Structure 1
Amino acid sequence: MEVAPSWLLLSLALLASLAFLSTVFIRRRCKQLKFPPGPKPWPIIGNLNLIGSLPHQSLYKLSQRYGPLMHLKFGSYPVLVASSAEMAKEFLKTHDQIFATRPQHAAGKYITYNYSDVLWAPYGPHLRQGRKIYMNEGLIT
C-alpha cells in the first residue's frame, strides 16, 4: 500500500480549511443583513416558482401570508414587494433617494446621451428637475 504524497495531503488540508472559513464568513455576513419576511428561495430560480400565470394574484396571496412588505428573489435578483398603499407611500415618498438609483447599462449611455434622460439618470439634481418638468409638461394632453 502506497502512502499519499505530503503535498497532496497539505493541499487537501488547505482546501478544507478555506471551505470552512468561507462558510463561517458568509454566514456571519448574511446574519447581519435584515430582510423583511418572505418565502425561502430555491438555489437558482429563487421564488419564481411561486409566481403563477396571474402574477398579481400570486403576489396578493403571498402578501396575505408574509405581510405588506416582502422580500423575494427572482433568480439571483433580490426584489422588495410593497403590497399596500402605506408601504408604497413609504417607498415613494420617504425613501425615494435609496430606491431611485437605477443600474447604469450601456443602453442608457449610448441611447440617452450619457444617462441624460429621466429614465436612465442617476439620482441627483438632474433627475429631480427632469421629473418636475415631466410632471408639469409631460402629462398634459
Structure 2
Amino acid sequence: MSVPRPGSNPNANLYAQLKRDVLDRLPQITMVEYVPDDIEATELRATFDPNRLDPPTGPDSPELIVQWYRQDPHDWFRINYIDPNTDFHAGWHQDEDHPDLGRAHFQYSTPSEEDRWGISFEQETSSLILWEIVETLLEDVHSNYQ
C-alpha cells in the first residue's frame, strides 16, 4: 500500500480548486465535503444522487473520494468510486502500488470479478485529469459495470 506523500500543506487549496472546478459542477453530485474540514483537508468526499446516475442505482448514495498530493515529477492521487448498492468499486490511482502497470492505473471490483490495468491521461492539470476521470466514470464505467 502506498503511503500518501508527506508535506506540511494538506492540499486544502488544491481541494478547493477541484471542488469548485469539477465536483460542484456535476448535476449528479448532491454534496461535496472536505475531510476532515476545509482547513486541514486530506480528501474530498462527493455524494451522488443515485437517481441521477444512468442507470439509476439506489437507494443508498454512491460516493467519490478524492485524495491528491502535489509532488515532483508527478502528483500522487487516488480517486475512488464506491456504490454501496451494488458493492461496485472503481479506482483511478497514480501511486506506487502497481509499478508493473506504469505510473497510473484503473482498477475495479464487483462481487464476482476484479481487474486492473495501466492507463494514461490526455490532460496534465489536476482539474482536467479529474474531469477526465469523472467523464469516464459517468459515460463508460458506471454503465458497463453496474
User: Is the TM-score greater than 0.5?
Assistant: no
**TM-score scaled by length of structure 1:** 0.25
Q: RCO (CA 8 Å, sep 6+): is it higher in 1 or 2?
A: 2
Larger radius of gyration: 1
Structure having the higher helix fraction is 1
